[in-house]
Chains A and B, each alone.
Chain A
Amino acid sequence: MSFQLMAINPHYHHTSDQLNEELLIIEAAKLNPERFAPLYDKYYKQIFNYLYQRMEDKDSAFDITGQVFLKALINLNTYQFKGVPFASWLYRIAYNEMMQLFRSQKDKRAVNADIGDLRFICEENEEPFFEEYIPVIKRLILQLDNDDLQMVEMRFFEKRPFKEIAEILDITEVNAKVRMYRIIEKLKKSLSKLKI
C-alpha cells in the first residue's frame, strides 16, 4: 500500500488554540445567534464547494448551503465538541441535506473531477495514465457504492488528508486508511485489466 503525502489543508486543520477559540464562539452563539457570524463567514465557501462538487445544479448548491447553516444554528444546542473542527459537523449536515434533495429528485448527484485528478488515481494505483483511459476510469468510479465514492471524492478529487477524512466521516484515521486501501485494491484490479 502506498499513500501519497498530502499537505495539511489550512482551511480545515486547526491548532488547539483555534479549536478553543471556535468553541468559545459556539458557546456564545448558543446564547445569541448573532454570535454565529464568524463561523458562517469562515465556513460558507468550504461548504458550498463541498456541495457543488457533488451536485449538478449551482443554484441548488447555494440553496442547500443556506439550509446547512440554518440547520446548524437551529441544532447548535445539540452540538457536542469532540476535539475536531466545527466544519466536520457542518459537512455531515451538508451530506444529509444533499442526500435528502436527491431523494426528492430536485437535483441529481454529480461527480466532478479534473483530468489531473484521474491521473492522480492512476498514479496512486501505480498505473500509467493515458487519455484513452478516461471513459473506463469514469465507469469504474460510477460503479462504486455511495460510501466508497465519498472516500474517492475526498481523497483524490479534494485531496484531503486521512485525518480530515476521518473527522468528517466520524471514523478513526486507521479505519479511513483501511477503507481507502480496499478501494484502491478494487480499482487496481480493474485498472490492471484495462483494455482500450
Chain B
Amino acid sequence: MTPNFNIDRPKVSDEEIHKHKNFDELVKQFKQQSIQKAKLDNSWWKNKKVRYSSVIAGTVVICTITYLALFNSNQKQNTNDKIITQSNPAPAPHKKFISPPSNKLSIPYSTYTISNTKGGEIKHSTASTIKIPKKSFVDKNGKDVIGDVTIEYREFQDKGDIIASGIPMNYDSSGIKLNLESAGMFDIQGSQNGEAVFIKPGSNLEVELASANNENRFNQYYLDTIQKNWTYLKKDQLLNPKEIMAITSEVRHSGMDGKENQKKLELLKNVVTVIIPKRLDSVKIVYTNKVSSLPKAKEPLKPSQPTGKPTFYIDGSQEEFPELAAFDKVIFEVGDENKNYTKSMHDVTWSDVKVSEGPLKGKNYLLTLTYRSRVEKLIVYPVLSGADFEKAHKKYEQKFLEYKSLAEKRTADEKKIMAEMEAKQKIYLAEIDKNNRAIEALSRQRDLNTLNNSFSGMNNATRAMRVFSISKFGIYNSDCPHTLPEGIIMSPQFSLNENGKIILPDLVYLVDHTGNLVFNYASAQISNIRYNPASINSFVVFIKNKMYLCDKNSFTRGLSKNSKFSVTELPESADNLPDFKKTLEI
C-alpha cells in the first residue's frame, strides 16, 4: 500500500505529548504482564508434573505448599522493597521516599558474582567484606537458587555520599523526631538474571563495614521503605584493631593518585572533544576544497528542432547565455506548461524583452515580455531548424565528447579524494573510540580512588570495622540518633550571589561540619529551620537538577544579614561526586 505523503502537517504540542505520559500506568501494565507470565509458567510446570507422575507430584505439591506457607509467614516480617515491587501493583513507596536530589551525583553499585552452591567472601574496594555462607539465596518461591547470584553493593561514608544518595536521615523514635549521624551506611541487593533473590531464613550474610569512625556510640539500623522509617536492629559491634589492620592491609589501591588521574582525564577529554574534532573538520575542509577545485564539466546543450509550437526569435540571446553561443539563429519555442500563452501575444510590440534562467537550468528559459504595465512570463525552449540545426548538432556532438571525458575524469578524481578523506577520518574516529574507552576506565577508577582515599587516608587508630548480620537485602546504617539542632530558628532566604536574584529551593540540606550530620528540609519546611550556632554549618540547595552552595563563610555572613544567604551555582565541572565533595569542603 502506498503511504500518504503529507506536507506541513501541524505538529503535536509538547503539552499534548506530556498529557499522554503516564509512568505509573506503564509500571502497572508491566507488573500485570509479569504476573500473567508467572501464572503461565506455573501451569506449564503443573501439567508436566501431572503427566509424569501424579502420585509423586501430589506429595511434592503438599510439601511445597507447607514449606511456602511457613516461609511466607517469616517473609512477611522481613518484607523488603523488592518483594513489594513484585506483588503490589500500587506505586512503590520508596520511589518518593528515597529521592536523590540530582541525577548527576549517582553513586554506582559495585557488582560481584558469587556461586550460591559454594558461597564465598567479597572484598569491597573500601576494605569492607561481605561473607556469604553456601546456599544462602532462595528465589521468590523459596527454592534454592541454582548457579551464580549477582550481588550489588555500594557504600555511603560521608556527608557528600549521604546528600547524593537521597536517603532520608530523619528518624522517628516513638513520636520523637531525631536525625541520624552516620558512621557508615551500605546498600546491598541480590539478583539472578534480573530476578530478585532473597536471603534464606537462618542463612544470614555477614557484612563487615569499613568505617571512618572508631567510636563505640553507634547502633545498627535497617531502612524500612514501607514504614518510611529506620528500624533499630542492635548496638553496633566493632572488630578489634588487630583484625582491622589485617583486613585493611589487603585493600589494593591503584598506582595513580587522584591528581594524576584527573589530569589524564582532562587531557583525554580535550583530545576527544576539541583536538580530534578540529582535525576532522580540517580534513573535511581540505578535501572538500580539493573536490570543488576540480575542473567542472558543463554539459553542452543538445539542439532541438521545432515541434510546431509557437516560437519567438530574440536577438542577442546567444551573448547573454554562453550555452546558446554554439547555435546560430536560435529561436525559442513556447512550452506546453504556459497556460497564459495566447496567439495575440505575437501582435503586441513589446517594449522590453528579457531572457532569464528557467526552472530547468540550461534546458529552458524564462521569457519576460513587458508592454507598459502588462508583464507576461513564458517558459521557452531553444530550437533550431534546417541547416542551422545540422550545423549545431555537429558542434554539439564534438562538445559532448569533450564533456563526457572531462566528467568521467572528474568523477574518478572526486571518488579518489573522498576515499582518501574517509580513510583519514576513520583513523581519527578510531582514535576517539579508543580515548572514550580510556576516559570511561579512568572515571570508574576516579570514583573508586575517592572511596579508597577517604578510608586509607586515616590512621589505624581511627579505622573501624562494624559487623552486620543481615537477613534481607536493603539499606543498613551504623548510626547515632541526634535531636534536631537545638538553638536558633531561622527562616532563610536564598539569593544567587551577593545582591542577586532570590531563588526558591525545592530541597535544602543543612550540613553540620562538626559531625557526619546532614539535615534535609523539603520546600514546605524551609521557613522553619533550626541550627546550632556552636557548630560550623553550610547549606546545599537544590532547584530541580541544579545545585547551589552556601559555604561555611557565606553561612556566617548570611546569619549576620537576617538569614539572607548568598548561594553560588556549582559549576558543570562539579557534576561528579568527587568534585562535589571537594566543593562542599567535605
**Interface on A for B, CB 8 Å cutoff?**
1-2, 16-17, 20-21, 24-25, 27-28, 30-34, 36-38, 40-41, 44-45, 48-49, 52, 56, 58, 62, 65-66, 69-70, 73-74, 76-77, 83, 108-115, 118, 128, 130, 132-134, 138, 141-142, 173-174, 177, 194-196
> Is the Cβ of B85 less than 8 Å from the Cβ of A109?
no
> Is the Cβ of A20 less than 8 Å from the Cβ of B95?
no
> Is the Cβ of A17 less than 8 Å from the Cβ of B12?
no
Residue of chain B at shortest CB distance from A73? B30
Residues of chain B within 8 A of A40, CB atoms compared: 21, 23, 26
> Is the Cβ of B31 less than 8 Å from the Cβ of A33?
yes
Minimal beta-carbon separation of A133 from chain B (angstroms): 8
For the complex, give the distance between the alpha carbons of A17 and B265 in Å: 12
Q: A20-B443, A40-B21 are in contact. List 11 more A-B contacts (CB 8 A).
A: A17-B575, A31-B82, A32-B85, A32-B92, A44-B21, A66-B20, A70-B26, A108-B1, A113-B5, A177-B422, A196-B337
Q: What are 24 inter-chain pairs, A to B, with CB distance below 8 A?
A: A1-B418, A16-B272, A17-B576, A21-B103, A31-B194, A32-B81, A32-B85, A33-B27, A33-B31, A34-B92, A34-B95, A36-B23, A38-B103, A66-B20, A70-B30, A74-B30, A83-B436, A109-B4, A118-B7, A128-B361, A133-B359, A138-B5, A174-B422, A177-B422
Q: A16-B440, A17-B443, A73-B26 are in contact. Are A41 and B95 (CB under 8 A)?
A: no
For the complex, give the distance between the alpha carbons of A154 and B577 in Å: 37
> Is the Cβ of A111 less than 8 Å from the Cβ of B193?
no
For the complex, give the distance between the alpha carbons of A177 and B418 in Å: 12
Q: Which of B3, B20, B193, B288 contacts A109 (CB 8 A)?
A: B3
Q: Which of B34, B111, B414, B576 contacts A1 (CB 8 A)?
A: B414
Residues of chain A within 8 A of B288, CB atoms compared: 2
B369 within 8 A of A: no
For the complex, give the distance between the alpha carbons of A113 and B4 in Å: 11
Residue of chain B at shortest CB distance from A52? B12
> Is the Cβ of B360 less than 8 Å from the Cβ of A194?
yes
Q: A70-B33, A74-B30 are in contact. Are A37 and B95 (CB under 8 A)?
A: yes
Residues of chain A within 8 A of B575, CB atoms compared: 17
Q: A17-B576, A69-B26, A196-B359 are in contact. Are A31 and B191 (CB under 8 A)?
A: yes
> Is the Cβ of A56 less than 8 Å from the Cβ of B4?
yes
**Interface on B for A, CB 8 Å cutoff?**
1-9, 12, 14, 17, 20-21, 23, 25-27, 29-31, 33-34, 81-82, 85, 91-92, 94-95, 103-104, 106, 108-109, 111, 152, 189, 191, 193-194, 196, 272, 288, 291, 337, 359-361, 414, 418, 422, 426, 429, 436, 439-440, 443, 575-576
Minimal beta-carbon separation of B109 from chain A (angstroms): 7
For the complex, give the distance between the alpha carbons of A77 and B194 in Å: 6
> Is the Cβ of A66 less than 8 Å from the Cβ of B26?
yes
Minimal beta-carbon separation of A96 from chain B (angstroms): 17
> Is the Cβ of A174 less than 8 Å from the Cβ of B426?
yes
Residues of chain A within 8 A of B152, CB atoms compared: 27, 31
Q: Which of B33, B92, B103, B291 contacts A74 (CB 8 A)?
A: B33
Minimal beta-carbon separation of B266 from chain A (angstroms): 13
> Is the Cβ of B103 less than 8 Å from the Cβ of A114?
no
> Is the Cβ of B429 less than 8 Å from the Cβ of A173?
yes
For the complex, give the distance between the alpha carbons of A33 and B106 in Å: 18
Residues of chain A within 8 A of B27, CB atoms compared: 33-34, 36, 73
For the complex, give the distance between the alpha carbons of A110 and B1 in Å: 10
For the complex, give the distance between the alpha carbons of A110 and B5 in Å: 6
For the complex, give the distance between the alpha carbons of A73 and B27 in Å: 9
> Is the Cβ of A115 less than 8 Å from the Cβ of B191?
no
> Is the Cβ of A111 less than 8 Å from the Cβ of B3?
yes
Q: Which of A16, A31, A41 contacts B189 (CB 8 A)?
A: A31
For the complex, give the distance between the alpha carbons of A128 and B364 in Å: 13
Residue of chain A at shortest CB distance from B196? A31
Q: A40-B21, A45-B17, A65-B20 are in contact. Are A24 and B360 (CB under 8 A)?
A: no
For the complex, give the distance between the alpha carbons of A45 and B16 in Å: 10
Minimal beta-carbon separation of A67 from chain B (angstroms): 10
Q: A32-B92, A70-B33 are in contact. Are A142 and B2 (CB under 8 A)?
A: yes
Residue of chain B at shortest CB distance from A40? B23
Residues of chain B within 8 A of A34, CB atoms compared: 27, 85, 91-92, 94-95
Residue of chain A at shortest CB distance from B359? A130
Residue of chain A at shortest CB distance from B335? A196
Residue of chain A at shortest CB distance from B193? A77
Minimal beta-carbon separation of B364 from chain A (angstroms): 9
Q: Which of B23, B30, B414 contacts A37 (CB 8 A)?
A: B23
Residues of chain A within 8 A of B34, CB atoms compared: 74
For the complex, give the distance between the alpha carbons of A145 and B337 in Å: 31
Residue of chain A at shortest CB distance from B473? A31
> Is the Cβ of B5 less than 8 Å from the Cβ of A76?
no
* Shortest beta-carbon contacts, A-B, top 9: A77-B194, A109-B3, A138-B5, A110-B4, A30-B194, A130-B359, A111-B5, A62-B20, A34-B92
For the complex, give the distance between the alpha carbons of A11 and B189 in Å: 32
> Is the Cβ of B23 less than 8 Å from the Cβ of A45?
no
For the complex, give the distance between the alpha carbons of A98 and B231 in Å: 49
Minimal beta-carbon separation of B164 from chain A (angstroms): 12
Residues of chain A within 8 A of B25, CB atoms compared: 66
Residues of chain A within 8 A of B429, CB atoms compared: 173
> Is the Cβ of B4 less than 8 Å from the Cβ of A108?
yes
For the complex, give the distance between the alpha carbons of A12 and B202 in Å: 49
For the complex, give the distance between the alpha carbons of A73 and B26 in Å: 9
Residue of chain B at shortest CB distance from A29? B194
Q: Which of A76, A115, A177, A196 contacts B8 (CB 8 A)?
A: A115
For the complex, give the distance between the alpha carbons of A105 and B429 in Å: 43
Residue of chain A at shortest CB distance from B379? A196
Q: Which of B8, B108, B189, B194 contacts A114 (CB 8 A)?
A: B8
Residue of chain A at shortest CB distance from B357? A128
> Is the Cβ of A110 less than 8 Å from the Cβ of B30?
no
Residues of chain A within 8 A of B29, CB atoms compared: 70
Residues of chain B within 8 A of A21, CB atoms compared: 103-104, 106
> Is the Cβ of A111 less than 8 Å from the Cβ of B106?
no
> Is the Cβ of B360 less than 8 Å from the Cβ of A195?
yes
Residues of chain A within 8 A of B33, CB atoms compared: 70, 74
> Is the Cβ of B359 less than 8 Å from the Cβ of A113?
no
Residue of chain A at shortest CB distance from B361? A128
> Is the Cβ of A32 less than 8 Å from the Cβ of B82?
yes
For the complex, give the distance between the alpha carbons of A98 and B318 in Å: 56
Residues of chain B within 8 A of A128, CB atoms compared: 359, 361
Residue of chain A at shortest CB distance from B281? A5
Residues of chain A within 8 A of B81, CB atoms compared: 32
Minimal beta-carbon separation of A139 from chain B (angstroms): 9
Residues of chain B within 8 A of A70, CB atoms compared: 26, 29-30, 33
Residues of chain B within 8 A of A115, CB atoms compared: 7-8
Residues of chain B within 8 A of A195, CB atoms compared: 360
Q: Which of B85, B104, B191, B436 contacts A33 (CB 8 A)?
A: B85
